[in-house]
Amino acid sequence: MAKVLWVEKQIDYEPQGVMSMAAVLKEAGHDVQLTIAAQENPVEFAKSYQPDIIGYSMMTGSQHYYFKLNRAIKQALNGNKPMSVFGGPHATFFPDIIHEPGVDGVCVGEGEGPMVDLANSLDKGGLDPNIPNWWFDIDGEIVKNPVRPLIRKLGDLPMPDRELIYSKHAVTSTSPIKHFMASRGCPYNCTYCFNHAWYQIYTREKRGYQRSVESVIEEVNWVRERYPLEQVVFLDDLFIIFVDWLEEFAEKFSKEVGLPFFANVRSNLITPEKVALLKKAGANTVSMGIEAGNDRLRNDLLKRKMSRETIIESGRMLHEAGINLTATNILALPTGSLEDDIDTMRLNAEAKVKYAHAFLFQPYPATELGEFTKQNGHMAGSFEDIGAIAWDSSILVRNDKEKMQMENLQRWFAIGVEFPWMEPLIRLAIKAPRNKVFDTLYWWIHKLFKGWAITHRVHPIKITPKVLWTNAKHFMQMEA
């Protein structure tokens, strides 16, 4: 039996990949533990647990934090010499992090099979260097293995190991909102997304595949029997690709579960038929990417391939069906302007968006738009300057005045969508200088309005004062 320790900086909501890998590892007979740096000392936990494998799942922007923490843990466990392995989006697209001090293995792509094979190998007394999906540093020699095929029969995987998270993180376990996944993959090639790079790794693979409706219902009901659950949140990139699956889901989920849910949709896939199916299934809120109001930015730069009229019409259909719509938007795009961002705010209002998320563009490496930004001189600094959150500051080259106003607009954006008449006032407010006073004030305005919108519209659930206080405190403390 191998001992595997997952290390997380903080828990925002259930990490689906970690839970799935923990489940297959336990099914294979291995021991799995979790340490959360935000609530305990991971170095001390590792010293007590003495793992054989230390695992990290990273997004771009968080890698330096985990590299530093990993070195501290390995130094404390010098006598044990566990393997430190890294996965997640950043590791998948930048496996050259294998050269980073303290990194023993990098998992490229899906991690369930690779993690089990690695644990089995170590349990048998030694490392097999030829495990698909792994890059290894073996005494200074780098071994690069090809990837195995994607997992197609998602229902064959064991149920995600939620107890790993819930036993350590009370906020998540007691929350009446819990997160699930019913599919993997997306058929689209938006330039700001890693999706196209993913399918350069997994060539000739089908884009988008579902779990069976039965397995989704089984997992939701399993959670509801053991933990508070009033709203289901599906984290799938795109929930409405396959009409036949959605028809079956609408019929069975409404009868066998009967809980309201949240899911991601896409404007040009919204039809009266799909809206009716979402309503029948119990969707109370959906989210779609609007991203940019300007047609050139949205369709040429971002390759969203949808018209302004389509976005407005899909919002109207959802509104008339009584389904709340949230939207994601990207501000401070390369070749975009402050007026473009304000136009995006107006488009959200026209589409009857009930809460508008706004993010400052981050030129993530390995994305088409990230590379465009770098090659055309739009980026100040390098990819290493990208932070772990996408709403603090922009690293793009533009005049200081416009940059400051774009950053301030991010905090006011949702309010401008809710109250379009406030646009003249917002134009004045965003001219305030970036300093501690205004940053703190605008942060509170943004957080309080977002908190209100989430509890009244996005996740309108009945919660006790204790849960409300706990969740509000957690919400205010989260970095992202």
Instruction: Tell me the per-residue pLDDT of 7-38, one tens digit each, with 9 for 90 and over.
Output: 999 999 899 999 999 999 999 999 999 999 99
Q: Please give the single-letter amino acid code of residue 344.
A: T
Q: For 334, how many CA atoms within 13 A lie in the half-sphere containing its CB?
A: 24
| Exposed / middle / buried, residue 169 (Cβ in 10 Å: 0-12, 13-18, 19+) | buried
* Contact (CB, 8 A) for 261 and 297: no
The CA distance from 258 to 252, in Å, is 9
Between 392 and 454, the more confident residue is 454
The CA distance from 248 to 205, in Å, is 25
Place of tokens 């259930």: 14
* Contact (CB, 8 A) for 255 and 282: no
Asked if residue 461 has pLDDT above 50, the reply is yes
Please name the residue ranges forming H helices in 227-337.
243-256, 272-281, 295, 308-320
Task: Please compute Rg for the chain using Cα positions.
Answer: 23
Between 178 and 153, the more confident residue is 178
pLDDT band at residue 478, thresholds of 50, 70 and 90? Answer: low
* Contact (CB, 8 A) for 266 and 238: yes
pLDDT band at residue 394, thresholds of 50, 70 and 90? Answer: confident
* pLDDT at site 476: 52
Question: Rounded mean pLDDT of 87-108?
Answer: 94
Looking only at the bridges linking them, the beta strands covering 105-107 and 134-138 are antiparallel
Quick one: how far is CA 302 from the chain centroid? 19
* pLDDT at site 456: 85
Helix (H) or strand (E) holding 426: helix 423-429
The CA distance from 75 to 177, in Å, is 39
* Contact (CB, 8 A) for 353 and 326: yes
Using DSSP's 3-state secondary structure scheme, residue 359 falls into: strand
- The dihedral of CA 332, 333, 334, 337: what is its sign? negative
Asked if residue 341 has pLDDT above 60, the reply is yes
* Contact (CB, 8 A) for 158 and 120: no
The CA distance from 270 to 182, in Å, is 19
* Contact (CB, 8 A) for 287 and 265: yes
Query: Is this model's pTM higher than 0.85 or not?
Result: yes
Please report how the helices 465-477 and 436-453 are oriented relative to each other, as an axis angle in degrees rounded to 10.
140
pLDDT band at residue 204, thresholds of 50, 70 and 90? Answer: confident
Most confident of 188-202, 208-222, 363-377: 208-222
* Contact (CB, 8 A) for 62 and 9: yes
Question: Rounded mean pLDDT of 148-163?
Answer: 92
Q: For 413, how many CA atoms within 13 A lie in the half-sphere containing its CB?
A: 34
Between 339 and 207, the more confident residue is 339
* pLDDT at site 470: 59
* pLDDT at site 385: 67
The CA distance from 187 to 96, in Å, is 27
Tokens encoding 148: 């195995």
- Give the percent of the chain with pLDDT over 90: 77
Tokens encoding 26: 């336990």
Question: Rounded mean pLDDT of 200-226?
Answer: 90
* pLDDT at site 80: 78
Question: Rounded mean pLDDT of 273-289?
Answer: 97
* Contact (CB, 8 A) for 35 and 42: yes
- The dihedral of CA 329, 332, 336, 340: what is its sign? positive
User: First and final CA of the chain: distance in angstroms?
Assistant: 36
